[in-house]
Structures are given as C-alpha cells and as structure tokens.
Chains A and B, each alone.
Chain A
C-alpha cells in the first residue's frame, strides 16, 4: 500500500457536506496518528472557502482543486481533472462517501488509477498484516472483509459508519489551490431537479409506520394502515423493495435513495434493516421493529424489538387496543380512524 490518504470532499453552497467529516474520520482512523499522511481535495470552480473550513476544523492539509468544468458534479469532468492529479499523487487510499457522487465516481476512478475498489465500507479492520474493509454482501445476510491487492484502493464509505471527525487541531491545516484547465467532455450536467412527489407527509409526521418487503403481500399493507391509525399524526413509509414491487409509491420511500426522516417514533414492520434503509432513519428518536427473523439487522437499530409474525401479531395488537379503549371509555363504540393522512395514496405515485 502507498502511504498517502486522499479524501475527496463533498460539498455544496460553500459548505462541506457533513458526510465529508465522516470521510475525514475514516482517514484519521487509517493514518495511524500521522495526520501528515492525509490530504483533502475539494473539487469545484471556486472551492477555497470550503477548503479553508475543512483545514480549520481538521488541521489536515487541504487542496482546492479548481476548474471551470467542476461547477457541479459530473463524472466525466471529475475523472478528467482528478484522474491525472491522483495518478501523480499515488495515494494508498482515496476516500469518498457512498453517495450518488461517491459510488458514481469511485469505480471509474479506480480503473484510471489501477486501484482496488471497495464500495459501501462499514468498518475498517486493522491490527492484522493488512487492513481489511467490511461491507455487506449476500443481499444483506452476511458481511465480508475485503483487502486491497494493489498499491492504491478507492473506498466509498457508508454514511453513518464513521462518526463525523471531532478533533481539536492545534492549528489550521495548510490550504493550497490548484487550477486545472480541462476542455469540454462528452457528458454534461445540466442541472438538478426535485422528483415529483409529496414529501411533506413523511417530513412532518411525528410517527412513521413503515413497511418492508417482509410484510409478504400488498394486501398486508392494510395491517400497516391499522397501526398507523393508532396515532394522531402519522404517515406511511416503506423500504425501496416495497416501492419496486409497486405496493406503494416512491413518495413513501425512506432510506438512502428516498427520504431521510426524523420522526419521534419510527415503526419498522417487516423491514430487514439494510444499511441503505437505516441511513434514512438515523435521526429517528425511537425505533420499534416487528420482524419474524430474530437476526434481522433492523434490531441493531431498534429501541424495542418484537420478534413476531406481523400477520398474527398486529391483529392481536389492534384487538388489545380496542379492548383497552373499551375499558377506559366504558362503551363498545366502534373506534373511528383518528387520522386522515393515513389513507393510501390514490394510485401509484408518478416518479
């Protein structure tokens, strides 16, 4: 392995993305206490402000790599500018977050650098002869430890895997600027747009009741709605697999490619707890998980776990709720749904 560690910063609106500080923490954990091995690269058209911010917060050396083609992220432009630069630097590691920028760029960059590529890294295992990197395989059932066989390895790290870097540097790191001219490429980023969806229900709800593929059938969504109706302000969420199956519209998707949510209570029902999903509920205050598989990963995130078959358990839960309502009010009235927003959306949501 070569010695240097390069972190490619992700940033926007003149500020470093919080995920950049997770990448820095990863670099810090790999450098063996020698901060001089770390260099942060901030690509952009004018990225000095961000470079100074990172240098002050970390004490690491930061290079603002500026080019007119780097106004916004574009794989072709990033490769043309960063490829030759990194080839000259020949670092041991190049670290990016596992985001739509990181996973887009990393594999092609690895090819250009003749490097190993390890994506979605959740942990580093050091102490052995070679440092290994842990990632999820077998559709989430297993973890694998992977070691690079090359002098350079490009890593994308799973959001949330490292806590953001929190050190008090003695002094700010050195900042320098490299300006690179690059002609027009064969791919152009023309802009960003918001997908057509009504995100407010997920964003504003105190309680989110979310379904995973583990609910088995679309018909069982009725049980999810039953649970949601227990709460005055709730919304229905789901994992990507549920959207892909066409059971719910993508407006309901929670996770890395869907909505990031921060409800007071997140009910995960039949959700296995893939890292991509859990990334979307990091800020949930309380997580309750119902799953019939006691080894489901969601239980690692859950505050309260219930190992049960949801098709049997939820009816019992509703029955018990109705019975308790009956005793407290002393009547046998049929309980009315308490929230309107829980009703299923009118047909699939167009993406």
Chain B
C-alpha cells in the first residue's frame, strides 16, 4: 500500500505563524491511522504532504518524527492562506503524477473548520471518498470498509473501492508521540520538494472580505459580586427553580 496523508499547518488563535503554529490535530489522527495500516500490511509506505510556503515544512518534519516515511512539500507562496479548493488542487495534481492507494486527511482543520479539502481532492481525482471516518478496515479484495460518524452517535457504514480518500474524525485512534529513532531519522532526512514546474494555484472561488470578533449577545444575566456572593446567588436561583 502506498498511502498519502495530507497535513496542514495551523496557526493558533492570536499567535504568529512563526511561533504559534503546529500540525492540525485532526491530521494527526489521519497520520496515526495510516501508520497503523503500515503496521498491519507489510510493504506499506506512508507519505506526508503539505502545500504552502516554506514554514509548512515544520509540520512535515513533525509527521516524519511520528513515523511518516517521507515528507513532501508542494511549495507555493502567494502570501495568502490557501483555500481548501486551492490546497486540494495542488495535492490532486501531485497524486496524478504519482500512485497512491489511499489518501488520508483530517476531517477538518482545527482553525477554519471547513471540512472541504479531503472530499475536494477526491472529486478532482474522481475517487470515491468518505468523510468523518471513525473506523476503517482494508479488505483483501481492494476495498475498504468504513464507518462514518453521523449525528447522535449513529454511524454510516460504507464500502469503497481503492484508490479512495478518507477524512478522519478525531477519536478514531490515539495519535502516537514521536519515537527517538524517528526523531533522529527526521532530523537528517531531506524533505522531498517536487518540481514546481507548472504548479499553478487556481483562482480562489470564494474570498473572505472581513473577519471580526463575533458580537456576543448574552441572552441571560451575569451574576455579579465576589465569588461567595455569586455562589450564594447561584444556590438561591437553583432553589427557586426547584433544582435543589
């Protein structure tokens, strides 16, 4: 099996890209899932890919420390954050030039919560896909059987032909910590930078025209006073409403 795992560098709220960025937590679950496939199926290779400016190499390095065999950097630097469609287009053209049996991605990025990149990669490649995967099992007949997380603890069971794209929901596994041997390997291993020739970032199909702190309309009341006064008021309220 040749597996590609898409990883995104997310910037924590209120932090700079230099100091406050890390690998998207959901992508860690995706990577862990791929690494578990590698442990089960001999001859499996796990490749981590990320698109963006130079700084995204930090998350590729992290993915290699966790156990990815290679880190692949699709270098583009437009000065703007890639939209999911743009990232998906770059990754899809990389996939076209190579051969992967499965593509894993996190169900969403924890910063922008869009849930789009994985299904978009699949649509661009015309691969079957499943999002919010909470269990998966590769079958000997080149299919994968997955459970998708739906609402209210209900799961949809889907069977997909390979190659396919799966976006992974948190909780599917416990992402591992980097092992010392992988940390040492990642330190010396080069990140693969495929030729940028012909790599075009397509035009964004939507634009963020402003961001703002959401107006908070508290619909109720805030308890005021010292901690003890608030505690007394809260207990009074709970008595009044017959909860106590």
A interface residues (Cβ-Cβ under 8 A, vs B): 73-76, 79, 99-100, 103-112, 114-120, 132, 135-139, 141-150, 153, 185-195, 197, 199, 206-207, 230-231, 240, 243-244, 246, 250, 256-260, 264-265, 286-288, 295, 297, 299-308, 312-313, 316-317, 319-321, 324, 351
Contact = CB atoms under 8 A, between A and B. Distances in A.
A240 B219 contact: no
B42 interface: no
Nearest to A195: B153
Given A141-B14, A187-B161, A302-B218, A264 B243 contact: yes
Contacts of A240: 170-171
Contact of A116 (B151, B160, B206): B206
A320 B235 contact: yes
Contacts of A189: 156-158
A317 B149 CA distance: 38
B152 A260 contact: yes
B115 A308 contact: no
A74 B210 CA distance: 35
Interface string B101-130: 000000000111111111110111001111
B40 interface: no
A141 B113 contact: no
A297 B213 CA distance: 11
A169 B241 CA distance: 41
Contacts of B241: 265, 286
B150 to A, nearest CB: 4
Given A132-B209, A142-B213, A186-B161, A351 B123 contact: no
Interface of B: 12-14, 25, 84-85, 88, 110-120, 122-124, 127-132, 134-135, 145, 147-161, 164, 169-171, 174, 203-214, 216-223, 227-228, 230-232, 234-235, 237-238, 241, 243-244
B216 A297 contact: yes
A118 to B, nearest CB: 6
Contacts of A186: 127-128, 160-161, 164
B128 A303 contact: no
Q: Which 9 A-B pairs have the closest CB atoms?
A: A111-B123, A303-B220, A108-B123, A187-B128, A107-B116, A116-B206, A107-B119, A186-B161, A116-B205
Contact of A75 (B129, B203, B234): B129
Nearest to A141: B13
A181 B110 CA distance: 39
Contacts of B209: 132, 145-147
B208 to A, nearest CB: 5
Contacts of B206: 116-118, 146-150, 153
B143 to A, nearest CB: 9
A169 to B, nearest CB: 29
Nearest to A265: B243
A156 to B, nearest CB: 8
A14 B217 CA distance: 38
